[in-house]
Amino acid sequence: MKPDMTVNLAGMLLRNPVMTASGTFGYGEEFAEYVDLESIGAFVTKGLSLKPRAGNPTPRIVETPGGMLNAIGLQNVGIDAFILKKVPFLRSVNTPAIANFFGNTVDEYAELAGRLDQIPEVAALEVNISCPNVKQGGIVFGTDPDCAASVVSACRAVTRKPLIVKLSPNVTDVVAMARACEDAGADCLSLINTLTGMAIDLNSRRPVLANITGGFSGPAIKPVALRMVWQVAKAVKVPIIGIGGIMNATDALEFMLAGASAVQVGTASFINPGAAQKIAADMEAWLVENGVDDVKSLIGALET
């Protein structure tokens, strides 16, 4: 019998738990040649800002053992061009498209959330809180529970669409952050964003990235991500999307055992543009082989 692969994520019924992560899948269109977009649960757009952003100087990426560092600098087309040039494609795909967005102030976050709320093709909103707050000396919203809560409540006030908050792992206590966001009105938490890291070129005695530091992603971060998902899942009631180094179905299923209701595939899509589709298919095959008739039965089923 075909197992039930559907999951319910804050009111969105996904055909399976596999999504693509923001910043690794463009605006969906870039991957249409390689992925049947209607074979995955949902996809998340590149992070959007009010104004277009050009991003950082190069080099912007560097590979390290088992992972990569990126300092793209949130390059994106901006909300206006998104509506004009990217949304028409979303209309043609029968898969929920989730808009990821970020701001430099609470007001910017709220304005973006309000505008994205008005776009019927956007199924849900994912807030990137790993950005500096320019009004408070550049403290990163996602590293201070009060700061994060103020962003989440401002967004919550202007949208009725499912509101996903993407948590930063660059904190001492991820559970405190998760609770603050849940209390402020988040419908769902996605974690983890990239870990801050750096790479050095010994011969030139210089950092490899023009930005000096960058976000570390890829299979090397999976153990950290699994631990954080597991900690947060025990502490909150809202569903969790597990992210961090997922390369195959085994990784994805481990995140579900740790407490994730869905997963996002990120860096793996760079290596295999069809990674998310394959992971979804392989998860289903694993369920069949192991006599599991509903993928939801694995959520938080870790035995300790």
Nearer to other proteins, 227 or 278 (CB): 278
> How far apart are alpha carbons 135 and 131 in whole angstroms?
12
Rule CB under 8 A: choose which of 267, 277, 284, 292 binds other proteins. 267
68 touching other proteins, by CB under 8 A: yes
276 touching other proteins, by CB under 8 A: no
Q: According to CB under 8 A, which residues from 108 to 127 bind other proteins?
A: none
43 touching other proteins, by CB under 8 A: no
Question: What token pair was written down for 81?
Answer: 């061009």
Nearer to other proteins, 29 or 117 (CB): 29
Asked if 167 and 186 count as a contact pair (C-beta separation under 8 A), the reply is: no
Listing DSSP states for the chain in one string gives ---B--EEETTEEESSSEEE-TTSSTTSGGGTTTS-GGGSSEEEPPPB-SS-B--PPSP-EEEETTEEEE-----B-HHHHIIIIIHHHHHT-SS-EEEEE--SSHHHHHHHHHHHHT-TTEEEEEEE--SEEGGGTTEEGGGSHHHHHHHHHHHHTT--S-EEEEPPS-SS-HHHHHHHHHHTT-SEEEE--PEEEE-EETTTTEESSTTSEEEEESGGGHHHHHHHHHHHHHH-SS-EEEESS--SHHHHHHHHHHT-SEEEE-HHHHH-TTHHHHHHHHHHHHHHHTT--BGGGGTT----
Amino acid, single-letter form, for residue 73: G
Q: According to CB under 8 A, which residues from 218 to 247 bind other proteins?
A: 218-220, 247
Rule CB under 8 A: choose which of 136, 270, 278, 302 binds other proteins. 270
Minimum distance from residue 12 beta carbon to other proteins (Å): 23
Rule CB under 8 A: choose which of 9, 14, 24, 154 binds other proteins. 24
Nearer to other proteins, 11 or 66 (CB): 66
Minimum distance from residue 149 beta carbon to other proteins (Å): 31
Q: What are phi and psi of 150, to 5 degrees?
A: -65, -35
Rule CB under 8 A: choose which of 9, 25, 194, 228 binds other proteins. 25
Rule CB under 8 A: choose which of 269, 276, 292, 295 binds other proteins. 269
Minimum distance from residue 67 beta carbon to other proteins (Å): 7
Asked if 23 and 46 count as a contact pair (C-beta separation under 8 A), the reply is: yes
**Which of 131, 147, 155, 181 is an active site residue?**
131
Is 131 a residue of the active site?
A: yes
Q: According to CB under 8 A, which residues from 179 to 218 bind other proteins?
A: 218
Nearer to other proteins, 46 or 156 (CB): 46
Minimum distance from residue 21 beta carbon to other proteins (Å): 11
Minimum distance from residue 69 beta carbon to other proteins (Å): 10
Q: Which are the contacts of 143, defined by CB distance < 8 A and separation ≥ 6?
A: 168, 170, 171, 177
Rule CB under 8 A: choose which of 6, 39, 75, 153 binds other proteins. 75
Minimum distance from residue 169 beta carbon to other proteins (Å): 19
89 touching other proteins, by CB under 8 A: no
Which parts of this chain interact with other proteins (CB under 8 A)? 23-26, 30-31, 33-34, 54-55, 58-63, 65-68, 70, 72, 75, 218-220, 247, 267, 269-274
Provide the annotated active-site residues.
Answer: 131
